[in-house]
Structure 1
Protein backbone atom coordinates (compact mmCIF):
# COMPACT_ATOMS: atom_id res chain seq x y z
CA UNK A 1 0.00 0.00 0.00
CA UNK A 2 1.29 3.46 -0.93
CA UNK A 3 -0.32 5.99 1.39
CA UNK A 4 -0.38 9.74 1.62
CA UNK A 5 0.11 11.02 5.19
CA UNK A 6 -1.65 14.33 5.97
CA UNK A 7 -5.41 13.90 5.68
CA UNK A 8 -5.08 10.16 4.99
CA UNK A 9 -3.46 8.75 8.14
CA UNK A 10 -4.52 11.66 10.36
CA UNK A 11 -7.86 11.96 12.18
CA UNK A 12 -9.07 14.62 9.72
CA UNK A 13 -7.87 16.82 6.87
CA UNK A 14 -7.05 19.66 9.26
CA UNK A 15 -5.21 17.80 12.04
CA UNK A 16 -1.67 16.50 12.47
CA UNK A 17 -2.84 13.85 14.95
CA UNK A 18 -2.38 10.35 13.53
CA UNK A 19 -5.53 8.23 13.85
CA UNK A 20 -4.90 5.34 16.25
CA UNK A 21 -6.94 3.03 14.00
CA UNK A 22 -4.62 3.89 11.11
CA UNK A 23 -1.59 3.08 13.28
CA UNK A 24 -3.04 -0.31 14.16
CA UNK A 25 -3.92 -0.89 10.50
CA UNK A 26 -0.36 -0.18 9.31
CA UNK A 27 1.03 -2.64 11.84
CA UNK A 28 -1.57 -5.32 11.03
CA UNK A 29 -0.85 -4.99 7.30
CA UNK A 30 2.88 -5.33 7.93
CA UNK A 31 2.32 -8.33 10.22
CA UNK A 32 0.49 -9.96 7.32
CA UNK A 33 3.25 -9.32 4.80
CA UNK A 34 1.75 -6.21 3.17
CA UNK A 35 4.35 -3.46 3.03
CA UNK A 36 3.35 0.15 3.62
CA UNK A 37 5.02 2.97 1.69
CA UNK A 38 4.49 6.56 2.87
CA UNK A 39 4.18 9.16 0.09
CA UNK A 40 4.21 12.74 1.36
CA UNK A 41 5.04 16.38 0.77
CA UNK A 42 6.87 16.42 4.11
CA UNK A 43 10.65 16.50 4.53
CA UNK A 44 12.70 13.29 4.57
CA UNK A 45 13.46 13.24 8.35
CA UNK A 46 9.76 13.67 9.16
CA UNK A 47 8.50 10.92 6.84
CA UNK A 48 11.38 8.57 7.67
CA UNK A 49 10.79 8.99 11.40
CA UNK A 50 7.05 8.50 11.05
CA UNK A 51 7.54 5.39 8.93
CA UNK A 52 9.91 3.85 11.45
CA UNK A 53 7.69 4.40 14.47
CA UNK A 54 4.52 3.33 12.67
CA UNK A 55 6.26 0.07 11.81
CA UNK A 56 6.10 0.53 8.03
CA UNK A 57 8.82 -1.34 6.11
CA UNK A 58 8.45 0.23 2.67
CA UNK A 59 10.43 3.07 1.16
CA UNK A 60 9.41 6.66 1.89
CA UNK A 61 8.64 9.18 -0.85
CA UNK A 62 9.22 12.73 0.39
CA UNK A 63 8.91 16.34 -0.79
CA UNK A 64 6.15 15.38 -3.25
CA UNK A 65 8.30 12.83 -5.04
CA UNK A 66 11.66 14.62 -5.08
CA UNK A 67 13.41 12.37 -2.54
CA UNK A 68 13.23 8.63 -1.82
CA UNK A 69 14.51 7.00 1.36
CA UNK A 70 14.99 3.25 1.67
CA UNK A 71 17.18 1.06 3.86
CA UNK A 72 19.53 3.88 4.80
CA UNK A 73 19.94 5.16 1.24
CA UNK A 74 18.64 8.45 -0.12
CA UNK A 75 17.78 8.86 -3.81
CA UNK A 76 17.25 12.35 -5.18
CA UNK A 77 15.03 12.63 -8.24
CA UNK A 78 14.32 16.33 -8.83
CA UNK A 79 16.87 18.37 -10.78
CA UNK A 80 16.17 21.87 -9.44
CA UNK A 81 15.36 23.22 -5.99
CA UNK A 82 13.08 26.12 -5.10
CA UNK A 83 15.25 27.52 -2.30
CA UNK A 84 15.96 30.86 -4.00
CA UNK A 85 12.31 31.26 -4.96
CA UNK A 86 11.38 30.58 -1.32
CA UNK A 87 13.69 33.39 -0.17
CA UNK A 88 12.04 36.03 -2.33
CA UNK A 89 8.56 34.76 -1.49
CA UNK A 90 9.08 35.14 2.25
CA UNK A 91 10.55 38.62 1.70
CA UNK A 92 7.59 39.71 -0.44
CA UNK A 93 4.80 38.02 1.53
CA UNK A 94 6.20 38.16 5.06
CA UNK A 95 3.02 39.85 6.32
CA UNK A 96 0.84 36.84 5.51
CA UNK A 97 3.23 33.85 5.36
CA UNK A 98 5.60 32.13 7.77
CA UNK A 99 8.16 29.50 6.80
CA UNK A 100 7.55 25.90 7.75
CA UNK A 101 10.06 24.68 10.36
CA UNK A 102 10.69 21.79 7.99
CA UNK A 103 12.34 24.11 5.45
CA UNK A 104 15.62 23.70 7.33
CA UNK A 105 15.50 20.02 6.32
CA UNK A 106 14.07 20.40 2.82
CA UNK A 107 16.11 20.25 -0.38
CA UNK A 108 13.71 20.87 -3.27
CA UNK A 109 10.14 21.62 -2.18
CA UNK A 110 9.77 24.49 0.30
CA UNK A 111 6.66 25.16 2.36
CA UNK A 112 4.90 28.08 4.04
CA UNK A 113 2.01 28.50 6.44
CA UNK A 114 -0.57 31.28 6.34
CA UNK A 115 -0.17 33.35 9.50
CA UNK A 116 -3.69 34.60 10.10
CA UNK A 117 -7.10 32.92 10.06
CA UNK A 118 -8.21 36.02 8.17
CA UNK A 119 -6.27 34.75 5.13
CA UNK A 120 -6.82 31.00 5.50
CA UNK A 121 -10.10 31.08 3.60
CA UNK A 122 -8.31 32.79 0.71
CA UNK A 123 -5.72 30.10 0.03
CA UNK A 124 -6.50 29.73 -3.68
CA UNK A 125 -6.24 33.50 -4.14
CA UNK A 126 -2.92 33.61 -2.26
CA UNK A 127 -1.53 30.69 -4.30
CA UNK A 128 -2.46 32.49 -7.53
CA UNK A 129 -0.86 35.75 -6.34
CA UNK A 130 2.41 34.01 -5.37
CA UNK A 131 2.50 32.14 -8.68
CA UNK A 132 2.06 35.37 -10.65
CA UNK A 133 4.78 37.04 -8.56
CA UNK A 134 7.23 34.19 -9.19
CA UNK A 135 6.44 34.12 -12.91
CA UNK A 136 7.36 37.82 -13.13
CA UNK A 137 10.59 37.15 -11.21
CA UNK A 138 11.70 34.47 -13.68
CA UNK A 139 10.59 31.45 -11.66
CA UNK A 140 7.87 30.15 -13.97
CA UNK A 141 9.35 26.65 -13.47
CA UNK A 142 8.20 26.75 -9.83
CA UNK A 143 4.68 25.44 -9.12
CA UNK A 144 2.81 27.04 -6.23
CA UNK A 145 0.27 24.63 -4.73
CA UNK A 146 -1.70 24.24 -1.52
CA UNK A 147 -1.86 20.87 0.22
CA UNK A 148 -4.48 22.13 2.66
CA UNK A 149 -1.79 22.01 5.35
CA UNK A 150 0.76 24.31 3.72
CA UNK A 151 1.57 26.26 0.57
CA UNK A 152 4.36 24.51 -1.33
CA UNK A 153 6.85 25.80 -3.89
CA UNK A 154 7.46 22.73 -6.04
CA UNK A 155 9.90 22.30 -8.94
CA UNK A 156 8.10 21.34 -12.14
CA UNK A 157 9.62 17.85 -12.09
CA UNK A 158 8.29 17.02 -8.61
CA UNK A 159 5.65 14.31 -8.88
CA UNK A 160 4.39 11.84 -6.26
CA UNK A 161 3.79 9.28 -8.99
CA UNK A 162 7.33 9.47 -10.37
CA UNK A 163 8.69 9.29 -6.84
CA UNK A 164 6.62 6.21 -6.08
CA UNK A 165 7.72 4.50 -9.31
CA UNK A 166 11.36 4.99 -8.29
CA UNK A 167 10.62 3.67 -4.80
CA UNK A 168 8.94 0.59 -6.25
CA UNK A 169 11.88 0.05 -8.59
CA UNK A 170 14.35 -0.10 -5.70
CA UNK A 171 11.98 -2.34 -3.74
CA UNK A 172 11.46 -4.68 -6.70
CA UNK A 173 7.67 -4.26 -6.78
CA UNK A 174 5.42 -3.78 -9.83
CA UNK A 175 3.14 -0.70 -9.73
CA UNK A 176 0.22 -2.96 -10.67
CA UNK A 177 0.66 -4.76 -7.33
CA UNK A 178 0.20 -1.51 -5.40
CA UNK A 179 -2.90 0.04 -3.85
CA UNK A 180 -2.63 3.82 -3.52
CA UNK A 181 -4.68 5.80 -1.01
CA UNK A 182 -5.00 9.56 -0.60
CA UNK A 183 -7.22 12.55 0.08
CA UNK A 184 -5.96 15.59 -1.84
CA UNK A 185 -5.61 16.77 -5.41
CA UNK A 186 -1.82 16.29 -5.23
CA UNK A 187 -2.52 12.57 -4.84
CA UNK A 188 -3.80 12.43 -8.44
CA UNK A 189 -0.14 11.93 -9.43
CA UNK A 190 -0.02 8.90 -7.13
CA UNK A 191 -3.32 7.49 -8.41
CA UNK A 192 -2.15 7.56 -12.03
CA UNK A 193 0.62 4.99 -11.48
CA UNK A 194 -0.87 2.42 -9.07
CA UNK A 195 -2.87 -0.72 -9.82
CA UNK A 196 -5.78 0.32 -7.59
CA UNK A 197 -6.55 3.91 -6.55
CA UNK A 198 -8.56 4.44 -3.35
CA UNK A 199 -9.88 7.74 -1.99
CA UNK A 200 -10.94 8.35 1.60
CA UNK A 201 -14.55 9.47 2.04
CA UNK A 202 -13.64 13.13 2.60
CA UNK A 203 -11.23 13.40 -0.35
CA UNK A 204 -11.21 16.32 -2.78
CA UNK A 205 -13.82 15.88 -5.55
CA UNK A 206 -11.07 16.11 -8.18
CA UNK A 207 -9.23 13.16 -6.61
CA UNK A 208 -12.42 11.11 -6.38
CA UNK A 209 -12.70 11.33 -10.18
CA UNK A 210 -9.49 9.28 -10.44
CA UNK A 211 -10.38 6.74 -7.75
CA UNK A 212 -11.39 3.14 -8.44
CA UNK A 213 -12.85 2.92 -4.93
CA UNK A 214 -14.19 5.63 -2.60
CA UNK A 215 -14.25 4.54 1.03
CA UNK A 216 -17.17 5.14 3.40
CA UNK A 217 -14.97 6.55 6.17
CA UNK A 218 -12.79 9.69 6.23
CA UNK A 219 -9.04 10.14 6.62
CA UNK A 220 -7.37 7.70 9.06
CA UNK A 221 -10.59 5.75 9.64
CA UNK A 222 -10.74 5.31 5.86
CA UNK A 223 -7.20 3.93 5.81
CA UNK A 224 -8.20 1.41 8.47
CA UNK A 225 -11.29 0.54 6.41
CA UNK A 226 -9.11 -0.16 3.37
CA UNK A 227 -6.73 -2.31 5.42
CA UNK A 228 -9.67 -4.41 6.65
CA UNK A 229 -10.94 -4.83 3.08
CA UNK A 230 -7.54 -6.05 1.89
CA UNK A 231 -7.05 -8.46 4.78
CA UNK A 232 -10.56 -9.89 4.34
CA UNK A 233 -9.95 -10.38 0.62
CA UNK A 234 -6.79 -12.34 1.41
CA UNK A 235 -8.75 -14.60 3.72
Structure 2
Protein backbone atom coordinates (compact mmCIF):
# COMPACT_ATOMS: atom_id res chain seq x y z
CA UNK A 1 0.00 0.00 0.00
CA UNK A 2 1.24 3.48 -0.87
CA UNK A 3 -0.23 6.74 0.47
CA UNK A 4 -2.08 9.39 -1.53
CA UNK A 5 0.17 12.25 -2.60
CA UNK A 6 0.05 16.03 -2.79
CA UNK A 7 2.78 17.25 -5.13
CA UNK A 8 3.92 20.75 -5.95
CA UNK A 9 4.98 21.28 -9.58
CA UNK A 10 7.64 24.00 -10.06
CA UNK A 11 10.87 23.02 -8.36
CA UNK A 12 9.41 19.63 -7.42
CA UNK A 13 8.39 17.87 -10.65
CA UNK A 14 10.77 19.91 -12.78
CA UNK A 15 14.41 19.79 -13.84
CA UNK A 16 16.97 22.22 -12.45
CA UNK A 17 17.00 23.95 -15.83
CA UNK A 18 13.20 24.29 -15.80
CA UNK A 19 10.44 22.36 -17.50
CA UNK A 20 8.73 19.15 -16.45
CA UNK A 21 11.13 16.28 -15.80
CA UNK A 22 10.14 13.49 -18.23
CA UNK A 23 10.43 10.91 -15.45
CA UNK A 24 7.13 12.27 -14.14
CA UNK A 25 5.41 10.46 -17.01
CA UNK A 26 6.49 7.11 -15.60
CA UNK A 27 6.34 7.79 -11.86
CA UNK A 28 2.90 9.34 -11.39
CA UNK A 29 0.69 7.14 -13.59
CA UNK A 30 2.22 4.11 -11.82
CA UNK A 31 1.36 5.41 -8.34
CA UNK A 32 -1.36 3.19 -6.84
CA UNK A 33 -3.12 5.89 -4.82
CA UNK A 34 -4.65 9.30 -5.60
CA UNK A 35 -2.24 12.03 -6.73
CA UNK A 36 -3.21 15.69 -6.25
CA UNK A 37 -1.13 18.39 -7.96
CA UNK A 38 -0.94 21.55 -5.83
CA UNK A 39 0.53 24.63 -7.46
CA UNK A 40 0.57 28.39 -7.59
CA UNK A 41 0.05 28.22 -11.34
CA UNK A 42 -3.21 29.19 -13.00
CA UNK A 43 -5.95 26.56 -13.00
CA UNK A 44 -5.50 25.25 -16.58
CA UNK A 45 -1.81 24.36 -16.10
CA UNK A 46 -2.15 21.49 -13.59
CA UNK A 47 -5.29 20.26 -15.37
CA UNK A 48 -3.31 20.03 -18.61
CA UNK A 49 -0.46 18.23 -16.85
CA UNK A 50 -2.88 15.64 -15.45
CA UNK A 51 -4.35 15.24 -18.92
CA UNK A 52 -0.98 14.55 -20.53
CA UNK A 53 0.04 12.26 -17.67
CA UNK A 54 -3.24 10.41 -18.16
CA UNK A 55 -4.07 10.55 -14.47
CA UNK A 56 -7.34 11.79 -12.92
CA UNK A 57 -7.61 15.59 -12.91
CA UNK A 58 -7.17 16.33 -9.20
CA UNK A 59 -5.66 19.75 -8.68
CA UNK A 60 -5.22 22.58 -6.24
CA UNK A 61 -4.35 25.70 -8.23
CA UNK A 62 -3.52 29.32 -7.48
CA UNK A 63 -2.34 28.54 -3.93
CA UNK A 64 -5.67 27.01 -2.97
CA UNK A 65 -7.86 29.54 -4.76
CA UNK A 66 -9.21 26.80 -7.05
CA UNK A 67 -9.77 23.15 -6.08
CA UNK A 68 -10.82 20.62 -8.73
CA UNK A 69 -11.49 17.04 -7.66
CA UNK A 70 -13.93 14.43 -8.97
CA UNK A 71 -15.48 16.75 -11.56
CA UNK A 72 -16.23 19.45 -8.98
CA UNK A 73 -14.61 22.89 -9.25
CA UNK A 74 -14.49 25.02 -6.10
CA UNK A 75 -13.36 28.64 -6.47
CA UNK A 76 -12.67 29.70 -2.91
CA UNK A 77 -12.22 33.46 -3.37
CA UNK A 78 -12.71 36.15 -6.00
CA UNK A 79 -9.83 38.08 -7.56
CA UNK A 80 -11.22 41.61 -7.15
CA UNK A 81 -8.68 42.82 -4.57
CA UNK A 82 -5.60 41.20 -6.15
CA UNK A 83 -6.59 42.62 -9.55
CA UNK A 84 -7.18 46.07 -8.08
CA UNK A 85 -3.73 45.94 -6.43
CA UNK A 86 -2.15 44.86 -9.72
CA UNK A 87 -3.85 47.71 -11.59
CA UNK A 88 -2.61 50.21 -9.00
CA UNK A 89 0.90 48.78 -9.31
CA UNK A 90 0.85 49.21 -13.10
CA UNK A 91 -0.71 52.70 -12.89
CA UNK A 92 2.24 53.75 -10.70
CA UNK A 93 4.78 52.59 -13.23
CA UNK A 94 5.09 48.91 -12.34
CA UNK A 95 5.24 46.13 -14.91
CA UNK A 96 3.75 42.68 -14.36
CA UNK A 97 6.53 41.43 -16.63
CA UNK A 98 4.73 38.97 -18.90
CA UNK A 99 4.22 40.99 -22.10
CA UNK A 100 1.03 42.09 -23.80
CA UNK A 101 -0.55 38.62 -24.06
CA UNK A 102 0.19 37.83 -20.39
CA UNK A 103 -0.52 34.12 -20.65
CA UNK A 104 0.64 33.78 -17.02
CA UNK A 105 -2.49 35.59 -15.82
CA UNK A 106 -4.91 35.23 -18.74
CA UNK A 107 -6.70 32.20 -17.25
CA UNK A 108 -6.03 32.95 -13.57
CA UNK A 109 -9.25 33.08 -11.53
CA UNK A 110 -8.33 34.17 -7.99
CA UNK A 111 -4.97 36.00 -7.95
CA UNK A 112 -2.38 37.85 -10.03
CA UNK A 113 1.19 36.72 -10.68
CA UNK A 114 4.00 39.25 -11.14
CA UNK A 115 7.51 38.66 -12.46
CA UNK A 116 10.35 38.51 -9.94
CA UNK A 117 11.99 41.28 -12.00
CA UNK A 118 9.24 43.67 -10.88
CA UNK A 119 9.78 46.55 -8.45
CA UNK A 120 9.13 44.63 -5.23
CA UNK A 121 8.85 47.69 -3.02
CA UNK A 122 6.25 49.30 -5.29
CA UNK A 123 4.38 46.01 -5.57
CA UNK A 124 4.23 45.48 -1.81
CA UNK A 125 3.07 49.07 -1.32
CA UNK A 126 0.16 48.56 -3.74
CA UNK A 127 -0.67 45.20 -2.17
CA UNK A 128 -0.78 46.69 1.33
CA UNK A 129 -3.15 49.41 0.18
CA UNK A 130 -5.68 46.80 -0.95
CA UNK A 131 -5.09 44.37 1.91
CA UNK A 132 -3.50 41.77 -0.35
CA UNK A 133 -0.66 39.40 0.53
CA UNK A 134 2.46 39.01 -1.62
CA UNK A 135 3.68 35.40 -1.82
CA UNK A 136 7.16 34.82 -3.24
CA UNK A 137 7.36 31.29 -4.66
CA UNK A 138 10.84 31.74 -6.08
CA UNK A 139 9.32 31.80 -9.57
CA UNK A 140 6.97 34.80 -9.28
CA UNK A 141 5.33 37.15 -6.82
CA UNK A 142 1.67 36.30 -6.30
CA UNK A 143 -0.92 38.83 -5.17
CA UNK A 144 -3.36 36.75 -3.12
CA UNK A 145 -6.30 37.40 -0.84
CA UNK A 146 -5.25 36.76 2.78
CA UNK A 147 -6.28 33.39 4.15
CA UNK A 148 -6.04 31.51 0.85
CA UNK A 149 -3.55 28.66 1.24
CA UNK A 150 -2.72 25.36 -0.43
CA UNK A 151 -3.30 23.59 2.88
CA UNK A 152 -6.99 24.51 2.83
CA UNK A 153 -7.19 23.09 -0.68
CA UNK A 154 -5.59 19.87 0.57
CA UNK A 155 -8.24 19.51 3.28
CA UNK A 156 -11.00 20.14 0.76
CA UNK A 157 -9.57 17.66 -1.74
CA UNK A 158 -9.06 15.01 0.93
CA UNK A 159 -12.66 15.32 2.08
CA UNK A 160 -13.96 14.94 -1.47
CA UNK A 161 -11.79 11.88 -2.02
CA UNK A 162 -12.87 10.29 1.26
CA UNK A 163 -9.50 10.56 3.02
CA UNK A 164 -8.24 12.21 6.15
CA UNK A 165 -5.67 14.91 5.22
CA UNK A 166 -3.23 13.10 7.53
CA UNK A 167 -3.33 10.14 5.13
CA UNK A 168 -1.52 12.22 2.49
CA UNK A 169 2.20 12.67 1.94
CA UNK A 170 3.33 15.96 0.39
CA UNK A 171 6.43 16.97 -1.55
CA UNK A 172 7.28 20.63 -2.21
CA UNK A 173 9.97 23.27 -2.35
CA UNK A 174 8.79 26.75 -1.33
CA UNK A 175 7.04 28.87 1.28
CA UNK A 176 3.66 28.33 -0.36
CA UNK A 177 4.03 24.60 0.44
CA UNK A 178 4.30 25.21 4.19
CA UNK A 179 0.53 25.11 4.71
CA UNK A 180 0.41 21.87 2.70
CA UNK A 181 3.07 20.35 4.93
CA UNK A 182 1.05 21.40 7.99
CA UNK A 183 -2.12 19.77 6.62
CA UNK A 184 -0.75 16.32 5.72
CA UNK A 185 0.59 13.43 7.75
CA UNK A 186 4.12 13.40 6.31
CA UNK A 187 6.07 15.88 4.21
CA UNK A 188 9.25 16.10 2.18
CA UNK A 189 11.11 19.22 1.08
CA UNK A 190 13.40 18.63 -1.87
CA UNK A 191 17.01 19.76 -1.50
CA UNK A 192 16.46 22.94 -3.54
CA UNK A 193 13.65 24.06 -1.19
CA UNK A 194 13.72 27.47 0.46
CA UNK A 195 14.36 27.88 4.17
CA UNK A 196 10.70 28.03 5.23
CA UNK A 197 9.80 24.85 3.38
CA UNK A 198 12.82 23.00 4.73
CA UNK A 199 11.99 24.04 8.30
CA UNK A 200 8.36 22.95 7.96
CA UNK A 201 9.01 19.56 6.34
CA UNK A 202 9.39 16.28 8.19
CA UNK A 203 12.21 15.28 5.82
CA UNK A 204 14.60 17.02 3.45
CA UNK A 205 15.77 14.91 0.53
CA UNK A 206 19.38 14.64 -0.58
CA UNK A 207 18.35 15.08 -4.21
CA UNK A 208 17.04 18.32 -5.70
CA UNK A 209 14.05 18.89 -7.98
CA UNK A 210 12.65 15.66 -9.48
CA UNK A 211 15.59 13.66 -8.10
CA UNK A 212 14.39 14.57 -4.62
CA UNK A 213 10.79 13.76 -5.41
CA UNK A 214 11.72 10.32 -6.76
CA UNK A 215 13.83 9.79 -3.63
CA UNK A 216 10.79 10.58 -1.47
CA UNK A 217 8.51 8.30 -3.48
CA UNK A 218 11.01 5.45 -3.29
CA UNK A 219 11.09 5.75 0.50
CA UNK A 220 7.30 5.50 0.62
CA UNK A 221 7.30 2.22 -1.26
Q: How does the TM-score come out when normalised to structure 1?
A: 0.83
Matched, 1:211 2:201: yes
Shift of 1:59: 1.9
Structure-2 residue corresponding to 1:131? 124
Matched, 1:27 2:29: yes
Aligned counterpart for 1:9 among listed residues 5, 10, 13: 13
Structure-2 residue corresponding to 1:117? none
**Residues in 2 aligned to 1:65 and 1:194: alpha-carbon distance in whole angstroms:** 15
Q: Does the 8 Å CA contact 2:66/2:76 hold for their aligned counterparts?
A: yes
Q: Provide the aligned C-alpha RMSD in A.
A: 2.0
Q: Does the 8 Å CA contact 1:19/1:221 hold for their aligned counterparts?
A: no
Runs of at least 5 residues in structure 1 that lack an aligned partner in the other structure:
115-119
- Aligned residues between the structures: 214
Q: Does the 8 Å CA contact 2:88/2:126 hold for their aligned counterparts?
A: no
SS at match of 2:30: helix
Alignment map for 1:45-124 (pairs within 5 Å): 45-57=44-56, 59-78=58-77, 81=80, 82-94=82-94, 97-98=97-98, 100-114=102-116, 120=117
Alignment map for 1:123-202 (pairs within 5 Å): 126-135=119-128, 138-139=129-130, 141-202=131-192
Q: Which moved more, 1:184-193 or 1:20-29?
A: 20-29
Runs of at least 5 residues in structure 2 that lack an aligned partner in the other structure:
none
1:55 to 1:221, Cα distance in 2 relative to 1, 3 A: farther
SS at match of 1:64: helix
Matched, 1:230 2:186: no
Larger relative helix fraction:
1
Q: Does the 8 Å CA contact 2:191/2:208 hold for their aligned counterparts?
A: yes
Shift of 1:161: 0.4
Query: What per-residue deviation string (whole Å, max 9, x for no partner) do you get for residues 121-147 of structure 1?
Result: xx7xx4343112332xx31x2011221
**Residues in 2 aligned to 1:134 and 1:77: alpha-carbon distance in whole angstroms:** 20
